[in-house]
Structure 1
């Protein structure tokens, strides 16, 4: 009789633990679906982006680079702040380029490194939101 009661209690505990696990799994998968559906539309991205006008400057190896950038922020307020900080943005870009050579900017990895450096330097300045991505929209080295 005691073995029967013990078996019943163990079975109830096992079923309870299984049900709790299933509920947690369902909740987590639903939260992941909701967070992935919150990706901004292209219109929202454009609204939260700032164009950096063409910059021409010397590189460390005395070559010239001419480029334009588009900087994507996480909100319209952040884009407005970044627009006001255009002189600081230009300064950061020129300073970073003056330390680089033509070889540093060659290839995909060189451009990705440059973009990530600009992103982190700008995020140090930002008070409203943050820079999410820096895009090179035109690029010429002479």
Structure 2
């Protein structure tokens, strides 16, 4: 009889500890999700950390002409200030990259994504404070 009582008490304690553990896990998981969601920058913060590259017109490798504008998003306001100072280097990288490409290289979503990724990588190699998070093509005409 005493063994049954002891076994029952042990099972109750074990189930209670397990339930407390599950509740703590769920609560901590939800808190982490809320913290991660609150760390996303607002659109105002994104704009503050972004730099516009004015419209550039240049020839492509196949003698086509492209005219485009870019917006470059950095990870901080300080990085955006540095990128603004490096405006001439940014324009040079864009022109160099475009001069190696053909009209077909820029066609479609994948072509533009590849171009944006390449520019992002090249600019990040120049940056000393912060880094580029995203490059956006804001206008684009090719002839």
For normalisation by structure 2, the TM-score amounts to: 0.88
Shift of 1:19: 1.0
Partner secondary structure for residue 128 of structure 2: coil
Q: In the alignment, what sits opposite 1:101?
A: 102
Q: In the alignment, what sits opposite 2:5?
A: 4
Structure 1: segments with no counterpart, 5+ residues: none
Q: In the alignment, what sits opposite 1:50?
A: 51
Q: In the alignment, what sits opposite 1:32?
A: 33
Separation in 2, partners of 1:121, 1:132: 12
Task: Give 1:56-135 correspondences, 5 Å limit.
Answer: 56-135=57-136
Shift of 1:6: 3.0
Structure 1 segments, 4+ long, off by >6 Å, are none
Shift of 1:11: 2.8
Shift of 1:91: 2.1
Number of equivalent positions: 142
Partner secondary structure for residue 57 of structure 2: strand
Partner secondary structure for residue 46 of structure 1: helix
For normalisation by structure 1, the TM-score amounts to: 0.89
Partner secondary structure for residue 66 of structure 1: strand
Separation in 1, partners of 2:122, 2:5: 68
Shift of 1:3: 3.8
